[in-house]
Every structure is written in structure tokens, then in C-alpha cells.
């Protein structure tokens, strides 16, 4: 506090506080209450969703005892199995390609003076973040509809390309952040000791960069796993991922099966995000 | 890779050549990322500009003839019989719903988000990270799943109605699903973290000695908040507001799940042109309109955040 920061004896400090009770500039009336309410509001719906996924009954609102029947039903549902495998395959491929491309781009655009076109590379890499998803989705629908007719090719390649594109900025940002805070002296020392460029990269740069790369991969994976809008517009028939499958189910009668799938997705997402925090805190 | 490898004895021309070589390598390394984004994000947007100037095909898609009809129909509609133009009321009401619900969402998240951010930022050093983590995790969890969670809450047989019925406050369940309220509630819920994070960053940098000084000069807490704190955290508040406003304006999933078929927002109107409406040029023009609106909001965002860094 301002008063007590003066070199003063305890008595004079006490005398300097004019209005009895110590003043705490960090509290504002009602703010803590609103904040606690906010946390309750944020978590209550999620907790209710998770709890009812374990409900033995068919209704969503009346608790009829603990059961794993909806998980069993979801796991036995062939559509769900297919969608789950597709989701993981898609997120895995897109995150891998995006992370490799983003790592290369991050190495190229950091730790250098401005060079011609650097701003343009930045802008392009971050472009998917700046356009509403629905706009990108219909643009892809237009272009891919044409390509699909022209080539007659209908595989997952369209979904992988679309997912990779919007995953790149998410992979790029943590990798770039890591690069910018990395100590360059080790690399200089290595090349002073006659390490080849390749040795410097594989023995020094890459290991130091690894936490950033892993964090970028996690983020890209989560973003791909969560996507609904772009997938919904790009997918061909029979290419549902878990989120688009659930979106389709919502039009019909909702059973706790959707809750069970939601809970699994929530859990997977929460684990990946926690890992992301863990790795991105790896910078000293 | 590094400029330092150029020999110090090399004349200027060699150095310039090395620099050019360096730039070429950097461009080559960025190429995969750029190529993917050009193919599967930025490029298709360009194609959409072309499509917005074509005539609609009979069964979706387009006819390759120039037409501005797509852009005209964003705001106007042509009478089928005499071809006169009138305001497209259906579109205008959807634009209005998008704008008003986005603004309401921004205000609601502002009222809840600022105290929450303040609360997190004023926790003791070791505990701040925990609270920050608590607010960030839902933000990264699936948007559809969080929307479904809200649906469970407000459905006719949902938890809220069940509790209200049980305590006898209402006799019949309140119809909350498929209303503007449901969309606004859902969007406020899913976008709240986007408000909290930038405001938190601003509060964390706040010099609390200024608040104490205000107190010493007999300012009430409210007055200190209004005259000292608010102006200082304003860049964070503006940034948060725009970060909430932008995805609200372009929202698709939340209004589709909670708003149903009658309460469309901008994103759902766009989808309609590629589904039942089958007017691709209009859909393309609508998409570009939305994109421009978002770009304008983004410019304000960049200005707000750059001011923040100047002050810091």
C-alpha cells in the first residue's frame, strides 16, 4: 500500500491510515460473487451432461441409477465406431501435416530481420483465424464440389486438406512463441565447435524446439477433433466425424447416447488441453 | 540459415547474394504452409468472389454468365411478376437478429466477464494459474458439446424447467428452446472465456497504487472503478468485446442447435442458400458480406490491442 511503502515505524504507518479499516485496492464489491457464479454457470451444464451420461433410464432428466448402458450402446453402434475412427484419423493426419508445415514456416519467419514478403507470409498463415468458419466452409463447398465432379475422386483427402489449412495457424503460434524465447547462444556455440548445419539443427535446435512442436501438435489435434462447421460442408456421404454425427442426431430424439459420446469427447479434449498447458509451460 | 555465416571478408556483393539466398530458403520453407492455406482456405475465398457474380443454376451450383443479382438479393428482392425491387424483409430481420443478439451477447459476457477477470487477476500469485486454467479449459473443449449441454439445461424436460416445476414456481414448462433467448444464452455461455482472457491480461497489468491513490483522495470504490480502473483496462475490455462479437456474428452451430429452423442467424442464412434455397451466388455474396463485417470488427480489434501495447 502507498502509505506503508514509506520508511516508517509501525505507529506512524497506523496513524497514516486515516479511515480505520485497511483499504484493499484489489477488492471490488460484488465482483467475487459474480465471478464464483460465472464459474458455477460454466461448469454446471457440463457436469449435468456428464452425470446424465451415466443414467440408467432412457430420459435425460430423471435419474434412475448409475449405469454404463449408454456407453455400451454408443460403443456398439457401428456409425459411432466409424465416426470415431474417422475423427481420430482426420485429426491425426491434419495435425501431423499442419505441424510439419507450421514448424518449417516458423523456422523461416522467426529469428531474422524483416525480409521481403514476411508480413505476407504472416497474414496468409493466420488467414484461417480471421474468416468466420461458415464462410470458409461454403467457399470450400463451392471449390470441392467442382473438384469432386471434375476428378470423380471422393476420398477423405478433401477433409484432410481443409482441416490441415485451419490447423496450421494453431500449430504455428506456439512453435513461433517457443522459437522467439529460445536461447540462440547454444546454436552459435555448436557451430563454433564445428558442428555442421544439419548437426546444429538435429542436436540443438530441434530438441530445444520440441515442447513448442508438441504443444502445437496438441492444439492442432484438438481444433481438428472439435470442428463441426467445415467438416459438415466438406464431407461426402458416409464421411461423418463424431461432431457431425452428433449434429445429425440432434435433429432426432436425443438419447443419453449423445451424452455418452459428448463425455468421451470432453474427456479427450480436456486431457489434450492439459497436456498442451504442460508442454507450453516448458519454456523457462 | 543464419546471416552470421557470411564471411566477414566477403565484399558487399557476396553478402547481398548470401542474403538473397537466405530469403529464398525462408520462402521455400514457408511454401508448404502457404500452399495448403492457398488451396484449402484463402484460394477458395477468391473463387467465391467470382461465384458471387454468376447466375444461379437451376438445381444449385451456378451458370457461367455474369450477373449482379446475387449481390442485389442480399438486401433487395425482385418481384416475380413485374420485376420491381423491394427490401428483402426476411434478410433484414435475420441481419437484425444477428446484430442484436451479438450485441446482447457482448454486453452479457462483459457484465459477467469483467468481474470474473478481475477476480482471477487479484488472486494470490500461486493460485492465479489455477483459476485461469479453469476458465481456459471450457474454451478449448468442443463447442458443439457445450451447446448440447445448454440444450439439456433449457429443454422443456430440462433441468431448469424440472427444478422450477418442483418448487412450484411454474405449472407448465417454459418453452426456452428455439427462441432468441436460447441463442443469446448459448452464445454468452460458449464465448464467455473470450471476454475473460483479454480483460484478465489488462487487469493483471493494472497498477493498483493508482487505485489506492484515488482512495486516499476520498474517491468511493465505484468512483475509483469508473474514473481510474475502467479507463486503464479499457483496451482489454474493447479487445474482449470484439473477440466475443466476431464469432457471435458468424455463429452457425449455436443458433442451429438452440434456435431451430425459425430463428436464423447470418451463418444459417448462408447455409440455406446452399441447401433448400439453392442460390449459390447469393450465398457467396452473403458470405463475403459477413466476411467484410468481421474484417471491420477485426480492424477495431487490432487498433485496440496495439494501443494496449503502446500503453504497457
Separation in Å, CA of A108 to nearest CA in chain B: 5
Is residue A85 scored above 70 in pLDDT? yes
Q: A134–B37: do the CB atoms touch at under 8 Å?
A: no
Q: A131–B22: do the CB atoms touch at under 8 Å?
A: no
Structure confidence at residue A9 (pLDDT):
42
Written as nine digits, the cell of A49 is 451432461
Written as nine digits, the cell of B33 is 504452409
Is residue B80 scored above 90 in pLDDT? no
Q: Establish if A250 touches chain B: CB-CB under 8 angstroms.
A: yes
Residues B233 and B119 in one domain: yes
Cα dihedral sign, B41-B45-B48-B52: positive
Asked if residue B70 belongs to a domain, the reply is no
Separation in Å, CA of B34 to nearest CA in chain A: 7
Residues B120 and B263 in one domain: yes
CATH number, domain of B253, equals 1.10.3720.10
pLDDT digits 0-9 by tens, B155-180: 888 888 888 888 888 888 888 989 99
For chain B positions 86-105, those within 8 Å of chain A (CB to CB) are none
Separation in Å, CA of B81 to nearest CA in chain A: 31
Written as nine digits, the cell of B133 is 486454467
Residues B239 and B140 in one domain: yes
Asked if residue B78 belongs to a domain, the reply is no
Closest by Cβ to A164, choosing from B40, B115, B224: B40
Q: Establish if A107 touches chain B: CB-CB under 8 angstroms.
A: yes
Q: Establish if A6 touches chain B: CB-CB under 8 angstroms.
A: no
Asked if residue B255 belongs to a domain, the reply is yes
Cα dihedral sign, B273-A157-A217-A199: negative
- For chain B, the first-to-last Cα distance in angstroms comes to 34
**Percentage of residues in chain B having pLDDT higher than 90:** 49
Distance of alpha carbon A95 from alpha carbon A22, whole angstroms: 53
Per the prediction, chain B carries an average pLDDT of 88
Closest by Cβ to B211, choosing from A25, A104, A243: A25
Nearest chain B residue to A268, by CA: B141
Nearest C-alpha neighbor of A233 from the set A132, A152, A159 = A159
Residue B246 near residue B298 (C-beta atoms within 8 A): yes
Asked if residue B59 belongs to a domain, the reply is no
Residue B244 near residue B195 (C-beta atoms within 8 A): yes
Is residue B231 scored above 70 in pLDDT? yes
Which is more confident, A231 or B304?
A: A231
Q: Give the number of A-B residue pairs with CB atoms closer than 8 Å.
A: 277
Residues B14 and B120 in one domain: no
Is residue B283 scored above 70 in pLDDT? yes
Residue A250 near residue B261 (C-beta atoms within 8 A): no
Is residue B309 scored above 70 in pLDDT? no
Closest by Cβ to A270, choosing from B30, B47, B137: B137
Structure confidence at residue B168 (pLDDT):
86
Distance of alpha carbon B159 from alpha carbon A251, whole angstroms: 20
pLDDT digits 0-9 by tens, B94-113: 999 999 999 999 999 999 99
Closest by Cβ to A139, choosing from B44, B148, B298: B44
Average pLDDT over residues A261-277: 88
Nearest C-alpha neighbor of A169 from the set A115, A121, A134 = A121
Q: B120–A124: do the CB atoms touch at under 8 Å?
A: no
Q: Establish if A248 touches chain B: CB-CB under 8 angstroms.
A: no
Residue A86 near residue A239 (C-beta atoms within 8 A): yes
Written as nine digits, the cell of B85 is 425491387
Q: Establish if B249 touches chain A: CB-CB under 8 angstroms.
A: yes
Q: Across chain A, how many H-helices and E-strands are there?
A: 13, 0
Written as nine digits, the cell of B65 is 454468365
Written as nine digits, the cell of A30 is 460484488
Asked if residue B35 belongs to a domain, the reply is yes
Residues B92 and B6 in one domain: no
Query: Which letter does DSSP use for residue B250 in this model?
Result: T
Is residue A84 scored above 80 in pLDDT? yes
Question: Which of B19, B28, B36, B211 is best to mutate for the A interface (most A CBs within 10 A)?
Answer: B36
Closest by Cβ to A226, choosing from B143, B270, B295: B143
Residue A168 near residue A98 (C-beta atoms within 8 A): yes
Asked if residue B149 belongs to a domain, the reply is yes
Q: Establish if A186 touches chain B: CB-CB under 8 angstroms.
A: no
Structure confidence at residue B310 (pLDDT):
53
Q: B135–A109: do the CB atoms touch at under 8 Å?
A: no
Number of domains, chain B: 2
Q: B208–A136: do the CB atoms touch at under 8 Å?
A: no
Is residue A6 scored above 90 in pLDDT? no
Structure confidence at residue B287 (pLDDT):
96
* H or E element, residue B87: strand B85-87
Structure confidence at residue B281 (pLDDT):
94
Q: B141–A270: do the CB atoms touch at under 8 Å?
A: yes
Residues B163 and B27 in one domain: no
Question: Chain A residues with CB inside 8 Å of B134's CB?
Answer: 39, 42
Query: Which letter does DSSP use for residue B4 in this model?
Result: G
The region that residue A111 occupies, defined by phi over 0 for left and psi between -120 and 50 for alpha, beta otherwise, is: left
**Is residue B97 exposed (0-12), middle (13-18) or buried (19+ Cβ within 10 Å)?**
buried
Closest by Cβ to A168, choosing from B33, B216, B280: B33
Could you tell me the domains of chain A? 77-280 (1.10.3720.10)
Residue B101 near residue B183 (C-beta atoms within 8 A): yes
Name the pLDDT band for B10 (thresholds 50, 70, 90): low
Residue A164 near residue A97 (C-beta atoms within 8 A): yes
Q: A108–B152: do the CB atoms touch at under 8 Å?
A: no
Is residue B5 scored above 90 in pLDDT? no
Question: Chain A residues with CB inside 8 Å of B133's CB?
Answer: 277
Average pLDDT over residues B131-146: 88
pLDDT digits 0-9 by tens, B35-58: 999 999 999 999 999 999 999 888
Average pLDDT over residues A91-102: 97
ipTM for the assembly: 0.88
Residues B180 and B252 in one domain: yes
Residues B178 and B258 in one domain: yes
Asked if residue B67 belongs to a domain, the reply is no
Is residue A51 scored above 80 in pLDDT? yes
List the alpha helices (DSSP H) in chain B.
12-37, 43-51, 69-75, 89-121, 125-140, 143-154, 159-166, 180-204, 208-216, 221-224, 230-249, 253-254, 266-274, 280-311
Query: Which letter does DSSP use for residue B77 in this model?
Result: E
Nearest chain B residue to A201, by CA: B1
- Distances in Å between the alpha carbon of B284 and those of B73, B267, B278, B280? 11, 12, 11, 6
Is residue A169 scored above 60 in pLDDT? yes
Asked if residue B278 belongs to a domain, the reply is yes
Name the pLDDT band for B1 (thresholds 50, 70, 90): very low
A227 three-state secondary structure: coil
- Residues A147-159, buried b or exposed e (16+ Cβ, 10 A)? eeeeeeeeebebb
Q: Establish if B160 touches chain A: CB-CB under 8 angstroms.
A: no
Residues B31 and B116 in one domain: no
For chain B positions 62-81, those within 8 Å of chain A (CB to CB) are none
Residues B136 and B243 in one domain: yes
Which is more confident, A22 or A246?
A: A246
The region that residue A19 occupies, defined by phi over 0 for left and psi between -120 and 50 for alpha, beta otherwise, is: beta
Name the pLDDT band for B18 (thresholds 50, 70, 90): confident
Which is more confident, B226 or A23?
A: B226
From the CB of residue B222, how many other CB atoms can be counted at a distance below 10 Å? Answer: 10
**Percentage of residues in chain B having pLDDT higher than 70:** 94
Per the prediction, chain A carries an average pLDDT of 86
Global pTM value: 0.87
Q: A31–B119: do the CB atoms touch at under 8 Å?
A: yes
Residues B39 and B163 in one domain: no
Give the domain extent around B262.
Answer: 87-311
* H or E element, residue A72: helix A69-76
From the CB of residue A105, how many other CB atoms can be counted at a distance below 10 Å? Answer: 28
Residue A256 near residue A166 (C-beta atoms within 8 A): no
Average pLDDT over residues A35-57: 91
Q: A250–B151: do the CB atoms touch at under 8 Å?
A: yes
Residues B91 and B38 in one domain: no
Amino acid at each position: 500500500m502507498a502509505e506503508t511503502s514509506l520508511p516508517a515505524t509501525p505507529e506512524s504507518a497506523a496513524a497514516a491510515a486515516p479511515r480505520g479499516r485497511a483499504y484493499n485496492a484489489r477488492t471490488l464489491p460484488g465482483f467475487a460473487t459474480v465471478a464464483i457464479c460465472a464459474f458455477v454457470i460454466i461448469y454446471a451444464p457440463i457436469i449435468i451432461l456428464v452425470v446424465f451420461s451415466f443414467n440408467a433410464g432412457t430420459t435425460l432428466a430423471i435419474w434412475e441409477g448409475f449405469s454404463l448402458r449408454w456407453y455400451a450402446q454408443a460403443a456398439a453402434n457401428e456409425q459411432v465406431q466409424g465416426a470415431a475412427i474417422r475423427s481420430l484419423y482426420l485429426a491425426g493426419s491434419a495435425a501431423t501435416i499442419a505441424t510439419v508445415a507450421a514448424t518449417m514456416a516458423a523456422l523461416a519467419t522467426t529469428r531474422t530481420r524483416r525480409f521481403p514478403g514476411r508480413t505476407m507470409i504472416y497474414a496468409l498463415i493466420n488467414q484461417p483465424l480471421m474468416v468466420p468458419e461458415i464462410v470458409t466452409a461454403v467457399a470450400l463447398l463451392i471449390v470441392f464440389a467442382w473438384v469432386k465432379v471434375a476428378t470423380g475422386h471422393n476420398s477423405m483427402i478433401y477433409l484432410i486438406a481443409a482441416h490441415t489449412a485451419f490447423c496450421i495457424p494453431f500449430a504455428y503460434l506456439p512453435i513461433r512463441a517457443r522459437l522467439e524465447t529460445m536461447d540462440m547462444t547454444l546454436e552459435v556455440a555448436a557451430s563454433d565447435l564445428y558442428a555442421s548445419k544439419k548437426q546444429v539443427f538435429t542436436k540443438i535446435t530441434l530438441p530445444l524446439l520440441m515442447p513448442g512442436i508438441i504443444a502445437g501438435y496438441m492444439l492442432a489435434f484438438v481444433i481438428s477433433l472439435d470442428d463441426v462447421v467445415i467438416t459438415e460442408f466438406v464431407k461426402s456421404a458416409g464421411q461423418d466425424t463424431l461432431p457431425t454425427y452428433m449434429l445429425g442426431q440432434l435433429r432426432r430424439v436425443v438419447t443419453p447416447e449423445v451424452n455418452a459420446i459428448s463425455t468421451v469427447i470432453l474427456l479427450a479434449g480436456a486431457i489434450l488441453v492439459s497436456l498442451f498447458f504442460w508442454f507450453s509451460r516448458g519454456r523457462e | 540459415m543464419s546471416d552470421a555465416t557470411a564471411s566477414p571478408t566477403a565484399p558487399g556483393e557476396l553478402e547481398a547474394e548470401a542474403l538473397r539466398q537466405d530469403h529464398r530458403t525462408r520462402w521455400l520453407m514457408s511454401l508448404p504452409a502457404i500452399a495448403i492455406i492457398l488451396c484449402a482456405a484463402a484460394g477458395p475465398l477468391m473463387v467465391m468472389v467470382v461465384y458471387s457474380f454468376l447466375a444461379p443454376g437451376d438445381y444449385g451450383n451456378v451458370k457461367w454468365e455474369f450477373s449482379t443479382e446475387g449481390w442485389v438479393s442480399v438486401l433487395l428482392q425482385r418481384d416475380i411478376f413485374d420485376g420491381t425491387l423491394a427490401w428483402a424483409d426476411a434478410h433484414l430481420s435475420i441481419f437484425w437478429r444477428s446484430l442484436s443478439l451479438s450485441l446482447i451477447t457482448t454486453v452479457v459476457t462483459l457484465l459477467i466477464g469483467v468481474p470474473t477477470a478481475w477476480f482471477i487477476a487479484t488472486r494470490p500469485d500461486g493460485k492465479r494459474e489455477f483459476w485461469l486454467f479453469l476458465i481456459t479449459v471450457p474454451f478449448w473443449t468442443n463447442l458443439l458439446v457445450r451447446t448440447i449441454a445448454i440444450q439439456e439445461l433449457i429443454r422443456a424436460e430440462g433441468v431448469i424447467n424440472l427444478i422450477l416445476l418442483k418448487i412450484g414456481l411454474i405449472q407448465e414448462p417454459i418453452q426456452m428452446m428455439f427462441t432468441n433467448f436460447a441463442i443469446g444464452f448459448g452464445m454468452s455461455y460458449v464465448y464467455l472465456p473470450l471476454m475473460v482472457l483479454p480483460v484478465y491480461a489488462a487487469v493483471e497489468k493494472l497498477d493498483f497504487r493508482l487505485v489506492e491513490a484515488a482512495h486516499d483522495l476520498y474517491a468511493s470504490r465505484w468512483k475509483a472503478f469508473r474514473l481510474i480502473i475502467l479507463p486503464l483496462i479499457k483496451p482489454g475490455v474493447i479487445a474482449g468485446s470484439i473477440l466475443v462479437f466476431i464469432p457471435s456474428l458468424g455463429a452457425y452451430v449455436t443458433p442451429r442447435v438452440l434456435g431451430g429452423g425459425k430463428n436464423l442467424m447470418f451463418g444459417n442464412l448462408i447455409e440455406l442458400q446452399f441447401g433448400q434455397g439453392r442460390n449459390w451466388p447469393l450465398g457467396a455474396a452473403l458470405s463475403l458480406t459477413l466476411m467484410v463485417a468481421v474484417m471491420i470488427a477485426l480492424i477495431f480489434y487490432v487498433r485496440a490491442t496495439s494501443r494496449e501495447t503502446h500503453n504497457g
